[in-house]
Structure 1
Amino acid sequence: MPRTATPTTPTTPVTPTPAVAATDDPTGPLTATPWEELVTSALLGTDRRPPAAASGTGPHSRPGGVPGYAGPDGAAAALLNAAALHTVRRRAGLLPALAAPRPGLAPADPRPPLPGAARSRLERLLADRAAPSGSGGRRGTAPDLTELIPQWLATANLHGYRAPDAALPAVLDAARARTDLRPQALAFAGPRGLWLAGLNPEWKFALRGSSGTSLLPDVTDPEAVHRLWEEGLFAERVALLSAVRAHEAGAALALLATTWATERAEDRLMFVDSLRTGLSGADEAFLEQALADRSRNVRATAAELLSALPESALARRMADRALSCVSPGLTGSGPSVAVEAPHECDAAMQRDGVVALPPSGRGERSWWLGQLVESSPLAIWPARFGGREAREIVALPVADGWSEELHAAWCRAAVRQRDPKWARALLGAPSTPPSNGPGTASLAERSKLLIVLPAAERAGWVAEFIAAHGLSEAFQLLGVCPTPWAEPLGRSVVDALDIARDAGSYPWSFSGVMGLAERCLNPAEADRLEVLTTTPDEPADASPGANGYWSEAFQRLVSTLRLRAAMDAELAPDR
């Protein structure tokens, strides 16, 4: 709607028209019309729903309507002018927020600074992590810097260096993007990194598990502990519970009991799961109460933790049930294992964590049997089978086709109870084919069993397994071996890769193992592997171009090992 004014001299006051006066008056009826009313009028049309102030109706109207806006065209103009005024007012009408308290000073980090070369290396590693990856499928001979960040962090932490202040945001971003980096990255970031994480919601993950840091109160100060427990964010409360538990397990249980009944189910699950650390018989009473929790997941976790305590009442109840199902028997003329799986899953079993409904493809009775056996103390079986040791019990034939189910349950029990004798018995000899082994053919289950063994024994077992069966089934087993690989294991991996190349095998089938070798082989092996970087003649039956790919992969392996050696030298304290 055009605005008009009478031409005057500069000293003559300007008299606005009624329309201008109506729209320019910030306290007038148009500006008092709620924004929602204006939106409704615009959607329905001013002929059907004129603005209340323009039509002379409604709570903000004046008798006779607004001067200058009579008729349909006037209502439309009123709507547009009111919307314009509302828009400006909404944009300009925000009041400045009260200034938040300034954060306190960052805590001191007494650790020594990085050597200059190592600091430059860290910048390149973090910059490469943020760079977009190439789209090609062929990696070439250059090392993958992103995969070297975990080793760099581990070595820096081993020498006790502190992170450069300027690198802390990039370190925290890397840890946010990759959960596998978090333990080492947060240790490297130290107290200043955790202080910084407390100021950025995107880095709140760093507060979980940050027990013993300056971001948490002194665990010996009950008032500060209870205040954070009552008012803190979930991640802070988990970290606080872990810190208190590390200091005094009973105090952590008492703290958890103060709010347990009002916690959300997902929070209760995380809190009860945190009791895995330092689990002991003192936790039994609390976990027994959790067996009656409203959440199925909480009940299942509590039952699992109780079954890991061989002296708990739940473990004894499970043992009684399992002993009624598994007993000595006779097959032909020799001893065997007889199995009579449960015929029902009663309420008492379900309260103790037995899930009644089996997954798709599983029979009910075998499903219930497996849960009973895996939750029973392994110490009950030698007495049940006439004093036989674990290796002898596992070697007994199992009647009626129950062998796979029973042995798999024993595997899970050995992992849960961290029993190396049963783990060795169920793994069997490395030279035995997995399908004929005493335990389970599942490589995933075998990997879990290996974790129970001491590190050196674990690496030796996998080295013998590779020597006997090659690399095709060894990838999962290699993933649980300590790094850098000990010489027997590293040599067996390289020898198996060399044999696969000489046989003309498809090289891309071994890309996962080659990637592991780049990260896990001892860097001192680089010179010995130089001979493998050449490109020999291809066998007639080899995949076209396979030897070129093999040569490229070995060149990348050697260059990565040398780069890792250089990184270790840059982080050496005497530089």
Structure 2
Amino acid sequence: MNGSAPRPDAVGDWEDLVTTALLGTDRRPPARLAPGRPAPAALLDAAAEATVRRRAGLRPAPAGRRPERAPEDPRPALPTAAAGRLAALLADRSGGTGGGRRGSSPDLMELLPQWLAAANGHGYAAPAQALPALLDAARGRTDLRPAALAFAGPRALWLARFNPDWRFALRSAPGGGATLPDPGDAEAIRRLWEEGLFAERVALLGALRARTPDLARELLAGTWPTERAEDRLMFLDSLRSGLSGADEPFLEKALGDRSRNVRATAAELLSALPGSALAARMAVRATACVALDRSGDGPVIVVEAPHECDSGMERDGVVATPPAGRGERSWWLGQLVEAAPLGTWPDRLGGRDPREIVALPVTDGWQGELHAAWCRAAVRQRDARWSRALLGAPSAPEAGGPGAVSLAERAKLLATLDPAERAEWVAGFIATHGLSEAFQLLGVCAVPWSAPLGRAVVDALNIARDAGSYPWSFSGVMGLAERCLDPAEVARLQSLLAIPDEHEDAAPGAGGYWAEAFQRLVTTLRLRAAMAEELSPAGAAGVG
């Protein structure tokens, strides 16, 4: 071995050794046995010699290109105490125990999303030493990715290029981590739109949509006929942000697209514009099916569902074939009413407001279908007045309102209300009906919960505890309370930390579980208060 290339038979020798190792020396003895050595030992000797020969015989290669320096992060540094807290949260990546009773210790991993949101709200930069753990956490939990990558900043994208396990960060970042052109550089914008990768083009379209929507629409229209169907759908979806009447001509053309999904999305966007021509066409069709009958003892709504789905309806987004178990006529009716402007109905139904309209009886069993379509229209058009009418009073006996047909529907309607009104409605619901159906509704409430909502949840948990209810059925709500209850509520929880007397019919061990769960809730709320203090500018100054 004199620094030259390996012997011509070196590669063949190595392959023979590998084959012998796989088959076993009993079935295939090594080709050249050292005298006096057992076959397995001789094989290892030969492998060691071949390895040294292969390494020593390699010729030097040109050095690889030195990576560019990581970009600077101009944001202020994270306070020392908050950095220590972040390290503790990231170290608890197991997310608590795998099952059974969780004990009284907080679930730190479940607090990480809230910590990241607060840190991003203050505009802090992530410590460099925390970036690998942040990327690992975001890799394991997709729900963490937007907040984790926003906090990790540009240095995390730089780091992700060196580890295949972190490539998701490049895919998740707008433009794959690429820098978008300056808004005033029209030539660079057009070049990126025409030549960029798909992720870069989506990011560019989204950025332009926020700043110069007309230019974004012009770029999209210029290449629209040549785009793939799946790409057209993604690009079209970007128009949801800042949707306005100026988008109508482009969306009307998209109604004739060769892709059914693109046509359906274009129709949905147009129906969200109450002044669009499509909305007017849908209003004509829907009002032909729904009318007010005053001939009886009192006014009632009568429904005559469509008898066919013509080509015009299909072009405007009506899907002709219903899903399994749905009748054609009710399927078509629901789509027409859903897409018609809600402002159509007061004039059509005797000048009544939404509450009065929803309270009217509907003949021939059409009420459920009609109200469900109005629910979808209220969500699509973000109409709070109709949402209130369809939700009804939270204390209604059925708790479903006159139009909401499911918890999911109610949650969507609640999302159209402002946060304070939303919390007030859910608090009233819990006060009347308890927590058995409240989990999904609580999920749409702003965090931290308002004082009335927090009190309603705590009171309902206390009632369930005193009633000897099976405690584990409330674990989901208790977990939400740990993340969403205002830490100021700690004082009201002190009386719930003792183990209560158990009723004869109570679940075995329920009292201990409730005390443990409330202790964990109190500990978690105190921890959240400390986290907020560490991240606040005043708290950071005090620590420093």
TM-score higher than 0.5 here? yes
User: 1:546-574 CA distances to partner (integer Å, 9 max, x unpaired)?
Assistant: 11111111111111111111111211213
1:158–1:255 CA distance, 2 compared to 1 (3 A): same
Contact 1:467 1:492 in 2 (8 A): yes
Asked if 1:390 is matched to 2:354, the reply is yes
1:312–1:100 CA distance, 2 compared to 1 (3 A): farther
Q: Which moved more, 1:101-110 or 1:549-558?
A: 101-110
Looking at structure 2, the residues matched to 233 and 126 of structure 1 have their Cα atoms a distance apart, in angstroms, of 33
Aligned pair partner of 1:504 in 468, 480, 486: 468
Query: How far has the Cα of 1:212 moved from its partner?
Result: 13
TM-score by length of 1: 0.80
Q: Give the equivalent residue in structure 2 for 1:165.
A: 128
Q: Give the equivalent residue in structure 2 for 1:174.
A: 137
Query: How far has the Cα of 1:257 moved from its partner?
Result: 2.3
Q: Give the equivalent residue in structure 2 for 1:15.
A: none
Asked if 1:234 is matched to 2:198, the reply is yes
Contact 2:174 2:199 in 1 (8 A): no
Query: How far has the Cα of 1:232 moved from its partner?
Result: 2.8
Contact 1:303 1:352 in 2 (8 A): yes
Q: Which moved more, 1:231-240 or 1:273-282?
A: 231-240
1:532 alignment partner AA:
L
Looking at structure 1, the residues matched to 260 and 353 of structure 2 have their Cα atoms a distance apart, in angstroms, of 36
Q: Secondary structure at the match of 1:473?
A: coil
Looking at structure 2, the residues matched to 503 and 391 of structure 1 have their Cα atoms a distance apart, in angstroms, of 37
Query: How far has the Cα of 1:273 moved from its partner?
Result: 0.7
Contact 2:387 2:413 in 1 (8 A): yes
Q: Which runs of 5+ in 2 are unaligned?
A: 1-6, 16-49
Q: Secondary structure at the match of 1:452?
A: coil
**RMSD of Structure 2 on Structure 1 (CA):** 2.8
1:268–1:98 CA distance, 2 compared to 1 (3 A): farther
Aligned pair partner of 1:355 in 319, 333, 357: 319
User: 1:196-227 CA distances to partner (integer Å, 9 max, x unpaired)?
Assistant: 45666643455656389872221321222233
Q: Secondary structure at the match of 1:113?
A: coil
Identity of aligned residues (%): 70
2:183 alignment partner AA:
V
Q: How many residues align structurally?
A: 494
Looking at structure 2, the residues matched to 239 and 138 of structure 1 have their Cα atoms a distance apart, in angstroms, of 44
Looking at structure 2, the residues matched to 313 and 469 of structure 1 have their Cα atoms a distance apart, in angstroms, of 43
Q: Give the equivalent residue in structure 1 for 2:527.
A: 563
Looking at structure 2, the residues matched to 149 and 434 of structure 1 have their Cα atoms a distance apart, in angstroms, of 37
User: 1:117-163 CA distances to partner (integer Å, 9 max, x unpaired)?
Assistant: 1111111111212x486444221111101100011111112222111
1:280–1:524 CA distance, 2 compared to 1 (3 A): same
Q: Give the equivalent residue in structure 1 for 2:150.
A: 187
Q: Which runs of 5+ in 1 are unaligned?
A: 1-23, 36-86
1:292–1:481 CA distance, 2 compared to 1 (3 A): same
User: 1:374-432 CA distances to partner (integer Å, 9 max, x unpaired)?
Assistant: 10100111111121111111111011100000001001000100111111111111110
Q: Give the equivalent residue in structure 2 for 1:534.
A: 498
1:25–1:520 CA distance, 2 compared to 1 (3 A): closer
Looking at structure 2, the residues matched to 526 and 435 of structure 1 have their Cα atoms a distance apart, in angstroms, of 30
Q: Secondary structure at the match of 2:389?
A: helix
Q: Give the equivalent residue in structure 1 for 2:208.
A: 244
Looking at structure 2, the residues matched to 25 and 100 of structure 1 have their Cα atoms a distance apart, in angstroms, of 27
Return the structure number with greater relative CO, CA threshold 8 A, min gap 6: 2
2:331 alignment partner AA:
W
1:419 alignment partner AA:
D
Q: Which moved more, 1:110-119 or 1:225-234?
A: 225-234
Contact 1:198 1:204 in 2 (8 A): no
Q: Give the equivalent residue in structure 1 for 2:45.
A: none
Contact 1:191 1:214 in 2 (8 A): no
Contact 2:309 2:332 in 1 (8 A): yes
Higher Cα Rg, which structure: 1
Query: Map of 1:479-558 to 2, 5 A cutoff?
Result: 479-558=443-522
Contact 2:490 2:525 in 1 (8 A): yes
Q: Give the equivalent residue in structure 1 for 2:34.
A: none
1:379 alignment partner AA:
G
Q: Secondary structure at the match of 2:174?
A: coil
Q: Secondary structure at the match of 1:431?
A: coil
Q: Give the equivalent residue in structure 1 for 2:74.
A: 110
1:143–1:393 CA distance, 2 compared to 1 (3 A): same
Query: How far has the Cα of 1:166 moved from its partner?
Result: 2.1
1:142 alignment partner AA:
S
Contact 1:209 1:242 in 2 (8 A): no
Q: Give the equivalent residue in structure 2 for 1:137.
A: 100
Looking at structure 1, the residues matched to 454 and 210 of structure 2 have their Cα atoms a distance apart, in angstroms, of 37
Q: Give the equivalent residue in structure 2 for 1:291.
A: 255
Aligned pair partner of 1:425 in 389, 392, 396: 389
1:220–1:214 CA distance, 2 compared to 1 (3 A): farther
User: 1:151-179 CA distances to partner (integer Å, 9 max, x unpaired)?
Assistant: 11111122221111222232233333333
Asked if 1:408 is matched to 2:372, the reply is yes
